[in-house]
Amino acid sequence: MTVTIYDVAREAGVSMATVSRVVNNNPNVKPQTRKKVFEAIERLGYRPNAVARGLASKKTTTVGVVIPDISNAIFAEVARGIEDIANMYHYNIILCNADKRKDKEIRVVNTLLEKQVDGLLFMGGTVTEEHLQAFKSANVPIVLCATTDEHGSMPSVDIDHESAAFDAVSALTGAGHRRIAMISGTLQDPSNGYARFQGYRRALEAAGIPYDESLVRVGNYRYESGVEAMKYFLELDERPTAVFAATDEMAIGAIHYIQDFGLRVPEDVSVISVDNTRMASMVRPQLSSVAQPMYDIGAVSMRLLTKLMKKEQVDQLRVILPHELITRQSVAAAR
């Protein structure tokens, strides 16, 4: 049924070793025999079996990617960066959603390892001791992507979420705001959640503004939770004059609630966030936001992984990509 390297060898009148050589572009083949082999391949419609090759060579040219949720625009962007670079180096990607759930994360890491991936890109929630355990049992390189572990024992590429939040809030304090609310993500989340909250607190502190916990609401990153939080803030006796949201979606929810409430953005309330997704410029007023190079995070981490897989020298095992404040129209000076 299926045509194998052996069939090709017979058809071309050579040995399977020779066929293997031409298929793998080994230069040690006379052009003439190479031609013969190619013709036989053509005639028979031979297609190399990558699984057999993988078993024999112990290389599959595929890497595993564990991702929280591919339907989330942020991660999808990272994934695209990964795949583009992977493609460039002739790797394929096995993609697994793990929803930031530890059990699922560890499970997929193991099945990926069983599939003999040549390397692993891990994008997830908190990296726990158990994760490290699973990683250690791998004999292929693993790099953390858009996550970091506390110990700093793993290769990783990420941005500095704390500092990104700091910059966003500083834009607010810099504009003279003193009563600044935050719509946070869950504090259990180390990157989107806790780190951004910390950046908020540090920026407040740097501006000499006391922390007021009644000015912080925890959302779930989504639009609706942005409007909910804003609703709460606007009912406060002393309303905030500015709001920092941990994600664009929540910021947009906040903007819309402010507007529906009869107030104006940014004249009455300034809004800023971090993510700078496409949506940021698709709202009115356009949203100021800290841009995170998600595509690049994917691309750089995949590039790093290729180096590790090829055992090349790498100078930077832990890379932090720069973020950038994109100023649009949602922030005004405090009155």
**Footprint on this chain of its own copies (rule: CB under 8 A):** 1-2, 45, 47-52, 54-55, 60, 62, 69-73, 76-77, 79-80, 83-84, 87, 92-97, 110-116, 137, 139, 223, 249, 252-253, 256, 259-260, 278-279, 281-284, 295
110 forms part of the interface with DNA (CB under 7 A): no
CA atoms of 195 and 211, how far apart (whole Å): 16
Q: Which residue has the tokens 């989107």?
A: 192
Q: Which does 93 bind (CB under 5 to 8 A by kind): its own copies, DNA, none?
A: its own copies
For the bound state, the minimum distance from the C-beta of residue 110 to its own copies, rounded and expressed in Å, comes to: 7
Q: Which does 18 bind (CB under 5 to 8 A by kind): its own copies, DNA, none?
A: DNA
Q: Which residue has the tokens 């078993």?
A: 55
Q: Which residue has the tokens 């959302």?
A: 219
Q: Which two tokens stand for residue 126?
A: 């908190």
Identity of the residue, 6 or 211, whose beta carbon is nearer to DNA in the bound complex:
6
CB 304 within 8 A of CB 144: no
For the bound state, the minimum distance from the C-beta of residue 53 to its own copies, rounded and expressed in Å, comes to: 9
Q: What is the DSSP letter of 213?
A: G
Could you give the angle at the alpha carbon of 295 between the alpha carbons of 106 and 266, nearest 5°?
110
Q: Which residue has the tokens 């693993």?
A: 142
Q: Which stretch binds DNA (CB under 7 A): 22-30, 196-204, 251-259, 303-311?
A: 22-30
Secondary structure, 3-state, 123-144: CCCCCCHHHHHHHHCCCCCEEE
Q: Which stretch binds DNA (CB under 7 A): 1-9, 63-71, 258-266, 316-324?
A: 1-9
24 forms part of the interface with DNA (CB under 7 A): yes
Q: Which does 322 bind (CB under 5 to 8 A by kind): its own copies, DNA, none?
A: none
CB 287 within 8 A of CB 281: yes
For the bound state, the minimum distance from the C-beta of residue 90 to DNA, rounded and expressed in Å, comes to: 13
Identity of the residue, 52 or 282, whose beta carbon is nearer to DNA in the bound complex:
52
Q: Which does 14 bind (CB under 5 to 8 A by kind): its own copies, DNA, none?
A: DNA
CA atoms of 75 and 294, how far apart (whole Å): 8
One of 39, 42, 43, 52 touching DNA (CB under 7 A): 52
CB 120 within 8 A of CB 142: yes
Instruction: State the burial class of residue 42 (Cβ atoms within 10 Å of its Cβ: 0-12, 13-18, 19+).
Output: exposed
Residues that bind DNA (CB under 7 A): 2, 4-6, 13-18, 20-21, 23-24, 27-30, 32-34, 46, 48-49, 52-53, 55-58
